[in-house]
């Protein structure tokens, strides 16, 4: 493990769950669960033998969701018995669930504690008054992943709503004076930063404190900023008299002189900020959060700026699921996905179409990805989802407020109104107002699947996102040039992002010529060759237009769509650049790696199309090297012509011999030779 990843890993360990260990305990609550599919047996005299032992994270759809429409959507139950020590009487106890799909009801000792609606945000319930101290206790979680009109997303059409306690659970123990744990499961402290430059930064901290004692109580609220080595660089202390009623909201400000700025992948420098409650010289509670000092700005027509400097926003999108695991992923699997995204050379990630793991956002802080976070208001609407949309947006913002990597909050994706007065347009304005009230310093975005700037539901936010699938769902591959040029001319003052683009590609299907005769909805032939051509041609256009402030290819990884049967693979969206099992990288992956990652590389495309019918063929090589050449069957090296851009090399009129043909591409970087070799059979 290199130095970079050691630092990143240590930072994630520090900030995971957002809590320091002083004054509170966080106990993993993931072992010892039993599970049954279906509701509890109502008859107390009837034995219920359907329980099996499971460990959290867990989903009951890890297999059936990837096999087709006949997946289980409905109620299931989890149960756990646990002991609460007698000496904890007088403390406050909370259960924090990082994610349950998608409706969760919590019971402790047969007492109903509460319900949470939505699969993707964390939630936290207090159980202080429902447990028996010095005795065994029983917890039951009823989970239900059946699609509902009042809970986002309202259907399974674009991606599956997995059921289960699919993210970790923790038992949180605090004193009776504590930084709040139940403010939408947020860390309880909110960090702002203003006037950020190389010379200075002003850091603001708002802390929400609860006092469960009987009287006003004096405490000190101390906030400290430390650098990566643990050296204290700023401190402030405020004496406060805490009310025993309601929430005490305390605001503090700390200056930082000559700050070390968070600078994306180049230098994702993180300070730590710790707010502590001190009584009689003892820390009674403390919360630690990451602090990355940075300044984001988008300038219409010019692009994205980080700390006042242009910053290339080479983006991918990501769903939180793996083959045979569903969405019940380990931290190692989350990190593996980010490692692959780092390898391709992406600088920004759109986590679509919902809030993802807190661990993942923390790792992005440490690695330096610039992050887009959004709620699952996607694909369709019912008119009954307004309350839940506001809830999920509030959770998204409050739980992730302190992550320096996040630059924008997403309001919706591909939901529409015909006029500004209809449901989606009105709700989007309400959501945007909520986002700006909760967090006025970050951007907001709404995404359309149409190419028009003036869609009624998409003009309420700071940024207009557009999903454009030229050559797949509409038009031809090259139409992207006309589209973006028209917007540049007609809407020069608008902030635009290309938020999805691409085509499906089955790694087991190929063609010797680029044909557009595909049915993207009902077809069964989605050759990888065509996917590659789409990305090659469209990226060459995107990179020439800074008017596109950021672009996000769809998708980094294949994922399950249980309602689909397309492209020769049932229940699968094949637009990913990496297969569902993460074992194979498609040609388009290496195309972007050649363009985005400065590490020397060379790659011959169409390598899985091993049996070639024509005798005369062409070869395509992706490389960021100099003096790129190709040999065929040990021939003299030949030079290719420039393809879509200077990373694309085309070698025409290659004559294959009967049988096995060996192709070797070569290039140099700083005097070192790099090669790639494949075989084709004619």
CB 102 within 8 A of CB 132: no
Give the angle 559-564-565 at the CA atoms, nearest 5°.
105
Query: What Cα–Cα distance (Å) separates residue 374 from each residue in 296, 323, 377?
Result: 18, 23, 8
Q: How far is the C-alpha of 238 from the C-alpha of 232, rounded, in Å? A: 17
Which is the catalytic residue, given 75, 210, 414, 500? 414
Helices (H) and strands (E) in the chain, counts: 8, 41
Contacts of residue 322, defined as CB under 8 A and 6 or more positions apart, other chains included, come to 329, 333, 580, 581, 582
Quote the CA–CA distance of 391 and 269 in Å, as a whole number: 32
In degrees, rounded to 5, the angle at the alpha carbon of residue 296 between the alpha carbons of residues 290 and 300 is 160
Q: How many Å separate Cα 122 from the centre of its chain?
A: 15
Asked if the peptide bond before residue 347 counts as cis, ω within 30 degrees of 0, the response is no
Contact 464/490 with Cβ under 8 angstroms? no
Give the residue ranges of DSSP H helices in 229-384: 331-344, 358-367
Is 558 tagged catalytic? no
Q: Residue length, the chain? A: 682
Q: Tokens for 169, please give them.
A: 């659970």
Structure tokens at 296: 């984001």
Q: How far apart are CA 470 and CA 501, in angstroms?
A: 8
CB count in 10 Å sphere of residue 223: 24
Read off φ and ψ for residue 88, nearest 5 degrees.
Answer: -85, -5
The DSSP line for 413-455 is ES---SSTTSHHHHHHHHHHHHHHHH-TTSEEEEEESSS-TT-
β-partners of residue 673 are 668
Nearest to 288 by CA among 40, 31, 22: 22
**Coil, strand, or helix at residue 642?**
strand
Residue located via tokens 């590659």: 532
Q: Cα 543 from chain centroid? A: 23
Return d(Cα 215, Cα 201) in angstroms, integer: 38
In 306-385, alpha helices (H)? 331-344, 358-367
- Residue 538's SS3 state is helix
Spatial distance between the Cα atoms of 391 and 398, rounded to a whole number of angstroms: 11
Query: DSSP code of 634?
Result: T
Read off the tokens for 619: 């070869």
What does the alpha-carbon distance between residue 358 and residue 17 come to, in Å, rounded to a whole number? 7
Instruction: List the catalytic residues.
Output: 414
């Amino acid at each position: 493990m290199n130095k970079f990843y050691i630092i990143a890993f240590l930072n994630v360990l520090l900030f995971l769950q957002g809590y320091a260990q002083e004054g509170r305990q966080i106990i993993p609550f993931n072992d010892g669960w039993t599970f049954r599919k279906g509701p509890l047996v109502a008859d107390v005299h009837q034995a219920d033998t359907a329980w099996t032992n499971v460990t959290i994270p867990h989903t009951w759809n890890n297999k059936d969701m990837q096999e087709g429409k006949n997946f289980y959507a409905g109620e299931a139950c989890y149960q756990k018995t646990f002991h609460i020590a007698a000496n904890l009487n007088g403390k406050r106890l909370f259960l924090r669930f990082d994610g349950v799909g998608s409706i969760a009801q919590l019971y402790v000792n047969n007492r109903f504690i509460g319900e949470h609606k939505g699969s993707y945000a964390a939630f936290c319930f207090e159980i202080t008054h429902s447990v028996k101290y010095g005795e065994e206790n029983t917890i039951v979680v009823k989970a239900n992943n059946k699609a509902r009109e009042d809970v986002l997303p309202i259907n399974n059409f674009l991606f599956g709503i997995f059921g289960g306690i699919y993210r970790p659970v923790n038992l949180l123990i605090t004193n009776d004076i504590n930084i709040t744990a139940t403010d939408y499961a947020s860390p309880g402290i909110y960090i702002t930063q203003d006037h950020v430059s190389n010379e200075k930064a002003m850091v603001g901290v708002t802390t929400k404190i609860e006092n469960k004692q009987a009287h006003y109580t004096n405490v000190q609220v101390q906030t400290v900023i430390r650098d990566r080595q643990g050296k204290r660089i700023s401190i402030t202390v405020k004496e406060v008299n805490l009310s025993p009623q309601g929430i005490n909201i305390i605001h503090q400000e700390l200056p930082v002189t000559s700050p070390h700025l968070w600078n994306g992948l180049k230098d994702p420098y993180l300070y730590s900020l710790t707010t502590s409650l001190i009584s009689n010289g003892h820390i009674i509670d403390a919360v630690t959060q990451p602090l990355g000092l940075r300044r984001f700005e988008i300038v219409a027509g010019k692009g994205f700026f980080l700390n006042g400097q242009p910053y290339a926003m080479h983006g991918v999108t990501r769903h939180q699921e793996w083959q045979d695991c569903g969405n019940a992923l380990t931290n190692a699997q989350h990190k593996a996905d980010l490692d692959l995204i780092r390898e391709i050379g992406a600088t920004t990630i759109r986590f679509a179409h919902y809030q993802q793991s807190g661990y993942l956002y923390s790792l992005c802080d440490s690695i330096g990805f610039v992050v887009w976070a959004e709620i699952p208001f996607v694909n369709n609407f019912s008119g009954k989802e307004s309350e839940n949309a506001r809830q999920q947006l509030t959770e998204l913002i409050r739980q992730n407020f302190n992550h320096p990597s996040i630059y924008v909050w997403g309001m919706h994706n591909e939901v529409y109104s015909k006029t500004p007065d209809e449901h989606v347009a009105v709700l989007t304005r309400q959501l945007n107002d909520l986002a700006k009230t909760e967090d006025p310093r970050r951007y907001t975005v709404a995404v359309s699947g149409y190419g028009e700037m003036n869609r009624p539901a998409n003009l309420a936010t700071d940024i207009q996102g557009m999903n454009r699938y030229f050559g797949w769902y509409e038009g031809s591959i090259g139409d992207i040039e006309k589209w973006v040029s028209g917007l540049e001319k007609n809407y020069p003052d608008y902030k635009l992002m290309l938020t999805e683009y691409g085509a499906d590609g089955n790694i087991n299907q190929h063609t010797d010529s680029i044909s557009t005769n595909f049915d993207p909805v009902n077809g069964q032939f989605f050759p990888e060759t065509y996917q590659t051509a789409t990305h090659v041609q469209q990226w060459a256009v995107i990179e020439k237009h800074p008017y596109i402030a950021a672009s996000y290819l769809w998708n980094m990884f294949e994922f399950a769509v249980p309602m689909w049967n397309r492209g020769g693979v049932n229940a699968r969206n094949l637009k990913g650049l990496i297969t569902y099992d993460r074992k194979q990288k498609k040609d388009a992956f290496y195309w972007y790696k050649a363009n985005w990652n400065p590490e020397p590389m060379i790659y011959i495309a169409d390598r899985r199309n091993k049996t070639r019918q024509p005798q005369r063929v062409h070869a395509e090589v992706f490389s960021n090297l100099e003096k790129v050449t190709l040999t065929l069957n040990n021939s003299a090296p030949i030079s290719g012509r420039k393809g879509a851009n200077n990373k694309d090399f085309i070698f025409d009129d290659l004559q294959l011999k009967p049988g096995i043909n060996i192709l070797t591409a070569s290039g140099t970087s700083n005097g070192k030779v790099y090669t790639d070799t494949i075989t084709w059979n004619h």
